[in-house]
Structure 1
């Protein structure tokens, strides 16, 4: 992403939700890509991930989780096809370890895993969103992906529509450096240029969690609303942790969800525990993702007990810590009590 730093980094700034809603462009600087090539790639991944890989269409993307045998998430992916290649997007900080772990289970399957982050067609990855983003993208693409988690492949790159945020569509555009040199200056003229944290803030307001190093093996997928986002297929075959994930769904063993909050403490980080004032002796949940909100604090997705969400009296670090300000999620947290 050195081309981003060369052309737009001086213009990049921390954004607030009002700026995101109007229209923005931001880099995805901390995301990596794993590529799987080979005729049995889909079959192999289908047996490893929480979602259906074998029926993943060429014009769609899907969320998927990778779990330990205990059903706890080791990684969350955005996955899609590029020709005969399957691609998994995840934080760079855990990519090498996750790729190595997946490779251990390939055995005789006809597939090969590799780091696709620096491939020419993925050299630059940007995110766009807000009310102006669709019209700006139509400068180069017509039509655009019509619904969340659909994609188009184009000579100028791959465009994936992701979950909407703040009342507008969000898109991810993967491109070559040559394309970036042409389009980034125009994007900067027509949209507010955000920093890497601005993209994370948009994902938080879309209610879409991402598992990073600080939160690996902390959550069953339902704790972070993953099945509400289409990231779990309960009809597919087995995968590591499948029995526990299914039991959580159908037997109601868990009573936890992830919700959207503001914390007026810029030091709040993923993996930090939160405490309900009604039960101060033990944590009621954990921060999943955070991003500066452009107003002096951070916005976050926080996993916690449903009772704590309902009471809305939760604090950071201890029952005497900074209070969490609760906001509505962009989708319904159903009464499954998982």
Structure 2
């Protein structure tokens, strides 16, 4: 890694304090994760960082996340920071049956646009990945970079990159970007990072997780797999994630109700972020059952206008995504 006498100033890089990482290490780490996560774990091979989720036996999500392989017997799971302790406590119930350890990673997560991503890649000796969900890692360092899909919308900054750095190395950087800008990009991409208050509330399909390639329907059993598979193959998902823009500058709280002009509650907010023109971009889980008419929607008396998601609501197999990354 290149060393610098003074901090590297990065105006388009934000410290993502709402995200954190959990390290899973040990000879049985792959087998342990295979029985708990919706991802096909061997797809996380150091080149492809797989979206995944953890569920209850009833198929309700305990966490949405992303799984990266750091090295032999070492995986790093990216989740909402509030979930590190409760998810670790949940997984430790199963850990005694495997040779694994679980620890909060001593790492900092950064979100960067291209102009800073190239600087960071050079600083930490990384090849900058250029395909969505592609991972790169320096041979001699724990730093990794993951390419995220291009931000959608007229005000898009294009492709973006998530960097995970050792905390000691991150202290040498002067990051001046706005984390809310990264969160807005996630909302516009229809990507939800569940927090601790949202555990055990949603089937993965309610958050369009299969449309993002976050569920492998080709792997064997994992906790909640039977319910998740049945919901997919029988089409029993009655609520779905939708994108919209709220005529209010202040984001609503997660869980805030979405109501029709007749006062009927048809869903709730799961993520939001300030957008341009005193609006807020919102992701809400809404009833899929057609209404008799297209009603006006509101959240706490502010008008909500639905927008098109940047992906189709259809199954995307992570096996296909991984083959595209490593081809």
Q: Do these two structures clear the TM 0.5 threshold for a shared fold by scoring above it?
A: yes
Give the number of the structure whose residues are more often helix, by fraction: 1
Residue 75 (1) aligns with residue 63 (2): yes
Residue deviations 1:61-102 (CA, integer Å, cap 9, x gap): 011111111111111111101112111111121210110011
Q: Is the 8 A contact 1:316 1:322 kept in 2?
A: yes
Query: What SS class does the counterpart of residue 159 from structure 2 fall into?
Result: strand
Deviation at 1:297, TM superposition (A): 3.2
1:74-113 maps to which residues of 2 (within 5 A)? 74-84=62-72, 85-113=74-102
1:1-338 maps to which residues of 2 (within 5 A)? 24-84=12-72, 85-116=74-105, 118=106, 122=107, 124-129=108-113, 132=115, 136=119, 139-140=122-123, 143-154=127-138, 155=140, 157-166=143-152, 168-176=158-166, 179-180=169-170, 184-185=173-174, 193-265=176-248, 266-277=250-261, 280-281=263-264, 283-307=265-289, 311=294, 313-317=296-300, 321-334=301-314
Residue deviations 1:83-141 (CA, integer Å, cap 9, x gap): 1211111112121011001101123211111111x2xxx2x321013x64565556556
Change (3 A) 1:334 1:275: farther
Query: What SS class does the counterpart of residue 244 from structure 1 fall into?
Result: helix
Aligned length in residues: 300
Q: Return the alpha-carbon distance in structure 2 between the equivalents of residues 217 and 225 of structure 1.
A: 16
Q: Return the alpha-carbon distance in structure 2 between the equivalents of residues 194 and 293 of structure 1.
A: 16
Deviation at 1:307, TM superposition (A): 4.6
* RMSD, matched Cα: 2.8
Q: Is the 8 A contact 2:145 2:164 kept in 1?
A: yes
Deviation at 1:44, TM superposition (A): 0.8
Q: Is the 8 A contact 1:28 1:126 kept in 2?
A: yes
Q: Return the alpha-carbon distance in structure 2 between the equivalents of residues 92 and 137 of structure 1.
A: 23
Deviation at 1:172, TM superposition (A): 0.7
Q: Return the alpha-carbon distance in structure 2 between the equivalents of residues 238 and 307 of structure 1.
A: 30
- What TM-score, normalized to structure 1? 0.80
Task: Structure 1: state its 5+ residue gaps.
Answer: 1-6, 13-23
Q: Return the alpha-carbon distance in structure 1 between the equivalents of residues 137 and 102 of structure 2.
A: 22
In the alignment, what sits opposite 2:324? none
- What TM-score, normalized to structure 2? 0.82
Query: What SS class does the counterpart of residue 95 from structure 2 fall into?
Result: coil
Q: Return the alpha-carbon distance in structure 1 between the equivalents of residues 251 and 46 of structure 2.
A: 41
Q: Is the 8 A contact 2:210 2:315 kept in 1?
A: no
